[in-house]
Amino acid sequence: MNFDWRAAWDSVPRLLDGMLVALQATVLGYLIALVLGLVFALLRRSQQPWVRMPVAVVVEFIRSTPLLVQLFFLFFVLPTIGIEFSPLATGAIGLGVHYATYTSEVYRAGIDGVPPGQWEAATALNLSRRRTWTAVILPQAVPRVVPALANYVIAMFKDTPQLTAITVLEGLSVARSLGAETFRYLEPFTLVGIMYLTMALVMAWLARIVERRFGRVRAV
Amino acid sequence: MTETTSASSAPASSGGHEGNLITFDGVGKRFGDNVVLDNLSFGVRPGERVTLIGPSGSGKTTILRMLMTLTRPDSGTIQVGDDYLYHEERTGNLVPASEQHIRRVRRRITMVFQHFNLFPNMRVLRNVTEAPVHVLGLSKEEAEQRARELLDMVGLGEKLTAYPTQLSGGQQQRVAIARALAMRPDVLLLDEVTSALDPELAAGVLDVLRDIARTSDVTMLCVTHAMRFARDISHRVLMFDSGRIIEDAPPGEMFDAPRHERTRGFLQSVINET
Ligand SMILES: Nc1ncnc2c1ncn2[C@@H]1O[C@H](COP(=O)(O)OP(=O)(O)OP(=O)(O)O)[C@@H](O)[C@H]1O
Ligand SMILES: [Mg+2]
């Protein structure tokens, strides 16, 4: 079997559309993971056990079950109770919630990495809890975790093919339908692999830029 | 600035609770089996400058941390003026204080730490304005005006836009002092504020503190091994041993004619070490 350049070339526009969908799912899912992960991390530090414990259980549960199970749950179960999203939105939410359990660990490590003396200085100055978090702790915790957080973008992007299972037309599912239509699988799968690789490399490069810009830690 | 302060105008030493700014009454604290403070009672008058001395582990830091609400006592009460720090009076009974109550009473107290604990994410000026703006409710302009004056006073008027990491330890500690004073505290707690510094840098910080002692009437509770400084600024020195006050005297008496054998031994060891 030899590589048919013509067929390959013809499949590029549709594959690119699929990759765009994968990118959308990644961006949206990542935003959810960034925000929800922080919320999880903060709730898990609550002084109220009845806040802390349920959140810990939920986070452990989500982290310990496969992403695919969660995607199916969102896709098939939620509509039965009247909550309906597009497949892409459902996928992004699934990715976001799943990865929030990872980013919450990252945030937690970052928060724990802020020296106790910073909390004590905030107390000595009588800063409110809220102000202590927003002005002192998070501005020191977040730069520490930017590299780890940035790496999860790429991990999440590489998980987008799982959205195929809930009918999202992302890159891999486009490649598969192209194969089914033309009976040629070599070209679309090779191309889609190259596209994933290229985009992952670009993301890694962007991540390094973000790290350099925001990941500066001024420890004393 | 190096001129030493006369301690002759010491406020009358405290007897009962009446007129005290700080009152410890029967305070106890243990960490596991380690009894750090045992039924400790003492008072500090408004404007008084009191130095706590004593061997390592005798509980000096614990006392300051309790006043700053960084460590909770197990028993007894602490009062700031007429207010209980950890308790509220409700229908004649003392009940554990709410977070708001503690914050309100704590407003009068602030602390300077051995390791400065400046906020590394903020420039020098904002380190000093952050709490005045967000706790005292000052306008940004007013807070900055005051911060500039304080930073001038500690000799860092040129460093407003520097980050703490760009300063020497001595400079950082002087910023920390300015940051504490910006809260206009009634009580300033100082826990070995020069022991992380080289001697030359420590001298600059001690000069600043001498200046503050001379020009302000802020009440100071100070833990230090700088005995010369303690003698210069203190009205009273408390000698601690195993969580108890074993000697309470003006600095002249404490340093020149200590009555207690353990005080003599301790002062000897401190002199040998420096
Ligand atoms: N968080 C803690 N957990 C357990 N033990 C503690 C804690 N903080 C203090 N201690 C113990 O309490 C005792 C008194 O400590 P403290 O720091 O008050 O002593 P200190 O007089 O300030 O000593 P130093 O001169 O060394 O600073 C020590 O035995 C110390 O080990
Ligand atoms: Mg100490």
Q: What residue ranges of chain A have pLDDT lower than 50?
A: none
Task: Tell the residue nearest (CA) to atom 3 of ligand 1.
Answer: B31
User: Would the CB atoms of A128 and B172 count as touching at under 8 Å?
Assistant: no
Please tell me the distance in Å from B213's CA to the nearest CA on chain A. Answer: 20
Whole-angstrom distance, CA of residue A15 vs CA of residue A178: 9
| Structure-token match 């004649």, residue found | B92
Contacts of B103 in chain A (CB under 8 A): 126, 128
The per-residue pLDDT for A131 is 96
Kindly report the pTM of this predicted structure: 0.87
Q: Give the architecture-level CATH label for domain B1-107+224-274.
A: 3-Layer(aba) Sandwich (3.40)
Amino acid in the structure at residue A162: Q
Whole-angstrom distance, CA of residue A31 vs CA of residue A29: 5
Of A121, A124, A218, the CB nearest to B121: A218
Task: Tell the residue nearest (CA) to atom 17 of ligand 1.
Answer: B61
Please tell me the distance in Å from B180's CA to the nearest CA on chain A. Answer: 7
Residue B258 half-sphere exposure toward CB, CA atoms < 13 A: 19
Confirm or reject contact between A216 and chain B (CB < 8 A): no
A152-207 tens-digit pLDDT: 999 999 999 998 988 888 888 888 888 888 888 888 899 999 999 999 999 999 98
The per-residue pLDDT for A160 is 92
Q: What are the structure tokens assigned to B124, written together? A: 């020098």
Whole-angstrom distance, CA of residue A19 vs CA of residue A199: 9
Residue B132 half-sphere exposure toward CB, CA atoms < 13 A: 25
User: Would the CB atoms of B113 and A131 count as touching at under 8 Å?
Assistant: no
Q: What are the structure tokens assigned to B32, written together? A: 């596991």
The per-residue pLDDT for B67 is 96
Contacts of A115 in chain B (CB under 8 A): 117
Q: Residue B271, class by beta-carbon neighbours within 10 Å (0-12 exposed, 13-18 middle, 19+ buried)?
A: exposed
The per-residue pLDDT for B3 is 39
Confirm or reject contact between A81 and chain B (CB < 8 A): no
Chosen for mutation from B61, B99, B117, B172 (greatest number of chain A CBs closer than 10 Å) is B117
User: Would the CB atoms of B164 and A131 count as touching at under 8 Å?
Assistant: no
Contacts of B189 in chain A (CB under 8 A): 124
User: Would the CB atoms of A220 and B165 count as touching at under 8 Å?
Assistant: yes
CA R_g for chain B? 19
Query: Domain extents for chain B?
Result: 1-107+224-274
The separation between the first and the last C-alpha atoms of chain A, rounded to the nearest angstrom, is 63
Task: Tell the residue nearest (CA) to atom 1 of ligand 1.
Answer: B31
Residue A124: closest CA among chain B residues belongs to which residue? B110
Count of CB atoms situated within 10 Å of the CB of A63 = 14
Amino acid in the structure at residue B85: L
The per-residue pLDDT for B12 is 42
Q: What residue ranges of chain B have pLDDT lower than 50?
A: 1-16
Q: Give the architecture-level CATH label for domain A5-219.
A: Orthogonal Bundle (1.10)
